[in-house]
Amino acid sequence: MGLAGKTACLLFLFFLASPLYTEPLPDDDGLLFFEEFFIFEETFSFDESLLSEETFPDEELFFDEEISSAEDGVFDENSVFDEGAFFFEAPPLIFEVPVFEIRSLDAIFPNLSPYQRTMAMSNIGLRHSFGRDEFPEFAPNPDLGINLLSSVMSKNPSHLIEALAVVPYNQRELDLLDIYNALGRIEKIKDQSVLLNGRDFYVFTESTRIASAINRRAVSDPSPSAMLPFSETMYLRLKEVTLGNLFIRGDISISIYGITYSMTNFTDVRYFLVPIMRAERYITIIYLEPVREGILIYSMSGFYLPGFIADRVNLTPNINRRIQIFINWITDGLRIQENAAAL
């Protein structure tokens, strides 16, 4: 057999005999998100020691004899070309998914006082109202990239409200998929109430998804999802007791640690048929993250009212009540997720 044939045979046996291995991701490279989880710094390689001279002392003579036997159709039981030589089992490829440590409330909001931390962990939570020229009180650690204020300020609001609450774990720790499914139960918003003058007050009498911003036909909530999307946009109609129908665009985005849910009015808001807020001038952004103490809920709301309306209509208490409704709705959805997993 010629040199080319021998070389081809050697390469073929080299392929069959060589194990594959993968190198795990380095621990200090940080977490890569979704499609970047499985990136290898080193491709598959072969163990060159299997072709050392010690393994094959007289490789040229050895292969000449074996190839001649193969050409005659005769297979020796000890031959590398016997029937079993054409079947091999490669070692399983093991992918290591990077694991990140869950953060704590103190790591995200390091400047909370002991009283503020206690209130954040309670059923009441924290609230802070301020004007466009003032500053938030519960600002998160700037190094963590949780910047809701800049997105709210892009709407040029005249009034802002921030809220902070932690929903403790009950039956089990919850994850991002639990949060996403809790946010998907739009029809449950109308079931939430706040205390007003010692009585349960239902702010929204109807809550439903609609097909689109143009087609406002009501559609049902989908079944709980088994996987997270990268992002999602939905359209809602919330019927409010005093303002009537509010048409909201909800934008969900997923990050490594949490979920951001932004709600903006895409039509004018009216009070007894009088426009009091133009489209795209109200926004509530809710950031949710599983932390050691429970599910962190941090929100920032902004709305614009002209001066002559702001002097006559104080919307801050009303917006505060609606924020509480949203927090109650999220909390209720998280409890549903806990109970569903226990069944």
CB 257, CB 103: distance < 8 Å: yes
Q: Is residue 91 part of a domain?
A: no
Q: Are residues 120 and 232 in the same domain?
A: yes
Q: Are residues 29 and 124 in the same domain?
A: no
Cα–chain-centroid distance for residue 316?
A: 31
pLDDT on residue 193: 93
CB 163, CB 321: distance < 8 Å: no
Q: Are residues 81 and 110 in the same domain?
A: no
Name the β-bridge partners of 269: 277
Q: Are residues 25 and 113 in the same domain?
A: no
Q: Are residues 124 and 211 in the same domain?
A: yes
Closest to 289 measured CA to CA, from 162, 189, 140, 157? 140
Q: Is residue 222 part of a domain?
A: yes
Each residue's pLDDT expressed in tens, for the chain with a length of 343 residues? 554 454 444 444 444 444 443 444 444 443 333 333 333 333 333 344 434 444 444 444 444 444 444 444 444 445 444 444 444 455 554 434 445 689 999 999 999 999 999 999 998 899 999 988 899 999 899 999 899 999 999 999 999 999 999 999 998 999 999 999 999 999 999 999 998 888 999 999 999 999 999 999 999 999 999 999 999 999 999 999 888 899 999 999 999 999 999 999 999 988 777 788 889 999 999 999 999 999 999 999 998 877 777 777 677 787 888 899 999 999 999 999 998 866 5
Q: Are residues 231 and 187 in the same domain?
A: yes
Q: Is residue 205 part of a domain?
A: yes
Q: Is residue 99 part of a domain?
A: no
CATH number for the domain that contains residue 235: 3.30.530.20
pLDDT on residue 243: 84
Q: Are residues 136 and 72 in the same domain?
A: no
Residues 6+ apart with CB under 8 A from 319: 159, 161, 301, 303
What is the per-residue burial (b if ≥16 Cβ within 10 Å, else e) of 86-100?
Answer: eeeeeeeeeeeeeee
Q: Which two tokens stand for residue 309?
A: 């309306």
Q: Is residue 129 part of a domain?
A: yes
Q: Are residues 156 and 237 in the same domain?
A: yes
* Distance between start and end Cα atoms, the chain: 69
Rg (CA), the chain: 31
Q: Reduced to 3 states, what is the DSSP secondary structure of residue 61? A: helix
Q: Are residues 211 and 257 in the same domain?
A: yes
CB 213, CB 264: distance < 8 Å: no
Distance, CA of 187 to CA of 183 (rounded, Å): 10
Residues 6+ apart with CB under 8 A from 285: 148, 151, 152, 260, 261, 262, 263, 299, 300, 301
Q: Are residues 168 and 248 in the same domain?
A: yes
Separation in Å, CA 324 to CA 126, 204, 215, 279, 329: 10, 12, 29, 23, 8
Last residue of a domain, one of 41, 59, 86: 86
Q: Are residues 200 and 318 in the same domain?
A: yes
Question: How many independent structural domains does the chain possess?
Answer: 2
Distance, CA of 34 to CA of 23 (rounded, Å): 19
Amino acid at 53: E
Q: Are residues 288 and 216 in the same domain?
A: yes
Last residue of a domain, one of 54, 86, 118: 86
Tokens 């002097």 identify what position? 311
Q: What is the pTM of this model?
A: 0.70
CB 325, CB 194: distance < 8 Å: yes
How many residues are there in the chain? 343
Domain that holds residue 130: 105-342
Closest to 245 measured CA to CA, from 265, 220, 222? 265
